[in-house]
Structure 1
């Protein structure tokens, strides 16, 4: 029993194992204050992780034991037994799924990611964090997975499972962007809607493996509509409003209780993306706030969709500290937009007569490539011709304001000038 409260402080420095277990067994919680009780809880958490690692190591050994009984020698097979999980299932009274999960954890952490198993054994991480390290590196080749784990293990114990998942996901994306893109495309092929009854008589309806840009935009739109309804006096909570609007939209029911949405019909998505990604110079991961890291191509696509909203920039130093923040304008000011529409009058593609008020304002030199938002770099293009401009082999220049030179994919050149008033 700890009669001297200072002794509790010794627990933090004790390695996991028999000595820590013996010390914890002598703790008398009744004589400890709140501070000391928290220290004991931390020590118990480390010791529990140690026992979890020991259990996994034992289960992994069970998988390699040949058939026998209590008199058999301590032999090991070269390969794991096919039904090894069933031995564990019967002994520990587990469901087949739980036994398979336990055996899977044993293989992953003991054999595939041994440094994670050692971190679990020493109490540096718990089983929940160890599983995150496994899940987020599962699609990687074993050497790459181990490299990613080595990078993040020093701080893994200081992060929540959510923080750890986000940080590791970014590392995995940036380790091999091409492979991450392939994995995403394969996952998108499994997109589906799941539904079922809950234990309390309610129901769950959810989409899985959705495109992150479209999912984030849809969620932002529901947030915008819910906030507008709340501001207009609706007495439902925001969560209730989001859920009801979600069902109303899917069922085609007019959302009469909410104000009309903005012209775009979408809410803004808060996006963090390096400028080099927008310029196409790197494949560094972007991040959808509230969602997590995404591929550079997803971040760039989302950035392009945020045209109707003001942008802000943040300058970050090499140490990650924010050193500057301000407003960035990607869309032309109203006066410049009006001037360009008045000058061009119609879409500036050869022969196109789409009126300017029904067309896009396009940066001749792309904004992400350094093109300025000025009349000399803006032009009116209808949606079809705007898409044509970005097709393979087509180029467009604006040698003088209002004069546009097109070069087709087959090398033909055409020049358009503003129509006379």
Structure 2
């Protein structure tokens, strides 16, 4: 006979274990914060004893923490700031995190909303939010954030207003990949402008009436208002596409790659190429890339540029795709000499690597060292050594295409780069 009681007991045990593991995650986050703050203090103390100027003490530590946590350098800075605030200024929040009453993200929300306050006011907010841990029960992210904002405004309304004014200078637009060959284009705007933009798009959707969905109309309207072209017409800006000759011309289904975005299906890549070639307002140019037949590593590029540095820069950017620091997927902003040029490092594809701005500056901090290598299969490897001696490695991604196949009639299997832009 089916024993319902035993099954319910087993399910209860599973739920209990899930809850226990969640508390363990919070406790681990609290311990990471304590250790991070201790590392920060020890590093700064050692560098002060060595005579390092105060402004340069701790330089590169955020990136070192990010590597240890297998995270991006940007998040490393957040982890470091979070740890400093918790350990030195917010003991009640730290205790709630260690006890499993707060998740790491909810503790981060409290720290973030108190960042503009004085140390004394921050400690007051900390006590009011978390001294009575029972008061945290049942509160979700939005409630935690709202309560912290309300207390911060009560303690120092001028600081909150000043932060809002400063935030306007941080307005920006970003783009990042989304699933299924889509992108997130995000605009960080002052509240009145952001509400006005959204209201305008909603009004267009309300009055359209052509059968498209509401979100569809809003997205198309956004594209048309910004580019000045219908949403279904190829936009005349430079777009690069890496696709094998067999996918482009022979019907092969090997995915293509858009540098900085990632892989896209061959059929969609071919459609993009056809749209570019068929648009009289656009031009398509082709450049050959030669890849290793076993690893897919980029090993050479046909360049039409007269100046070698320009061609080399394009080669490195296409080879690396994103920042070469391990766990950092930021767009390439700088081309860096792994072995510094001032120390005799060569301006070559082997010694070159693409990095984001932050990672390039971090490398200049004392104790950091970067080396590069080329493996037997042609893959470009990069190793970062931190001041504590920890080693982290990354490899350049392979070009699209099936590996191990016989070379095509175009010598080694190559990919075509199609860049289209206005002919004018």
TM-score normalised to the size of structure 2? 0.43
Structure with bigger RCO (C-alpha 8 Å, 6+ apart): 2
Q: Determine which structure has more spread, i.e. the larger CA radius of gyration.
A: 1
